[in-house]
Amino acid sequence: MLNQVAEGVLIHQSELLENNTVVVQGRDGVLLVDAGTTGDEMVCLANDLRDLGQPVIAAFSTHPDWDHVLWHTELGEAPRYGTARCAAFMRDVLSNADWKASVVEGLPPEIAEDTPLDLYGLITGLPAGTVRLPWDGPKVRIVEHPAHAPGHAALLIEERRVLVAGDMLSDVFVPMFDDTDDPIADYLVGLGLLEGVADEVDVVVPGHGSVARGDEVFARIRLDRAYVEDLREARVSSDPRVVSPKLGWEWASAIHEGQARRLVRDSEREQRPD
């Protein structure tokens, strides 16, 4: 089911992980951002778009996590864009002979059999530094940053004042770090870039969870920054996503626990004499 969040901007949310697929209506069709997770859901989305008479004419993956680079034949053959780094990361993944087995191993068992992989990760990288999405529709600004995953980018739909945030600013997941030399610094850079466009935004669509509107946009940025700074300073987090997660999302607290342990190990390793 498609739900409108702003003029010409609709979302389709998955059942299991509350992934938000974003549909931006243009003159001759739609831009599809992060197409979805299961075959059934993507077929449902394709049917909804057909009923609206809106073919998919362009697509974009915000980053190269498995649940953001899937596709279904029912959605058509539109170009599927991503940043240059996102596309390069996916090329590396697909160059491994056993890539499919590795992806399947990481899928939630509830949806593993209904997650189509035939068109997995076939992303067309935009030239490095591209700031406008090439499509015939409302102007879309690409905000690339180093947080969470290689080549991660948010999309600012300027005329609709909507920010598609990828896997940031969620009300169900705490900030999740990439495996880099300084993931906390990288994440704070990303948050800073999102904050830099927040005055131009009325609606934020996170990769997972509920849409943020109005004052909640800045509140989510502050919440994410507080979480990251707590981990940086080795403080006990009071983040509500950790201490009182949404019903049914208690399992997500393991993400926080794993990150906290990893940062402690990294700190101890740095302090250890050679």
pLDDT at 186: 98
Question: What is the SS3 assignment for 236?
Answer: coil
Query: Tens of pLDDT along 45-93?
Result: 999 999 999 999 999 999 999 999 999 999 999 999 999 999 999 999 9
- Token couple for 248: 């049914």
Residues in Cβ contact with 199 at an 8 Å cutoff, skipping those fewer than 6 apart: none
Q: Which amino acid is at 94?
A: L
Percent of the chain with pLDDT over 70: 97
| Helix or strand (DSSP H, E) at 10 | strand 9-13
How many angstroms separate the most distant Cα atoms in the chain?
A: 65
Answer yes or no: are the C-beta atoms of 203 and 211 closer than 8 Å: yes
- Which residues share a beta bridge with 154? 143
| Mean pLDDT confidence for 30-45 | 97
Query: What is d(CA 79, CA 251) in angstroms, rounded to the nearest whole number?
Result: 36
pLDDT class of 266 with cuts at 50, 70, 90: confident
pLDDT at 268: 61
CA distances from 59 to 40, 49, 55, 126, 252 (A): 19, 14, 11, 12, 29
Q: pLDDT at residue 270 above 70?
A: no
pLDDT at 264: 77
Percent of the chain with pLDDT over 90: 95
Kindly report the pTM of this predicted structure: 0.95
For the purposes of burial, counting CB atoms within 10 Å of the CB of 198, is it exposed (0-12), middle (13-18) or buried (19 or more)? Answer: middle
- Token couple for 44: 């449902």
Query: Tens of pLDDT along 168-209?
Result: 999 999 999 999 999 999 999 999 999 999 999 999 999 999
Domains and CATH numbers, the chain: 3-271 (3.60.15.10)
pLDDT at 61: 98
Query: Tens of pLDDT along 139-148?
Result: 999 999 999 9
| Mean pLDDT confidence for 12-37 | 96
pLDDT at 1: 84
Q: pLDDT at residue 166 above 70?
A: yes
Residues in Cβ contact with 110 at an 8 Å cutoff, skipping those fewer than 6 apart: 16
Instruction: Report the 3 state secondary structure along 128-193.
Output: CCCCECCCCCCCEEEEECCCCCCCCEEEEEHHHCEEEEECCCCCCCCCCCCCCCCHHHHHHHHHHH
pLDDT at 273: 62
Query: Tens of pLDDT along 117-140?
Result: 999 999 999 999 999 999 999 999
**What mean pLDDT, rounded, does the chain reach?**
95
Nearest CA to 151 out of 186, 115, 102 is that of 186
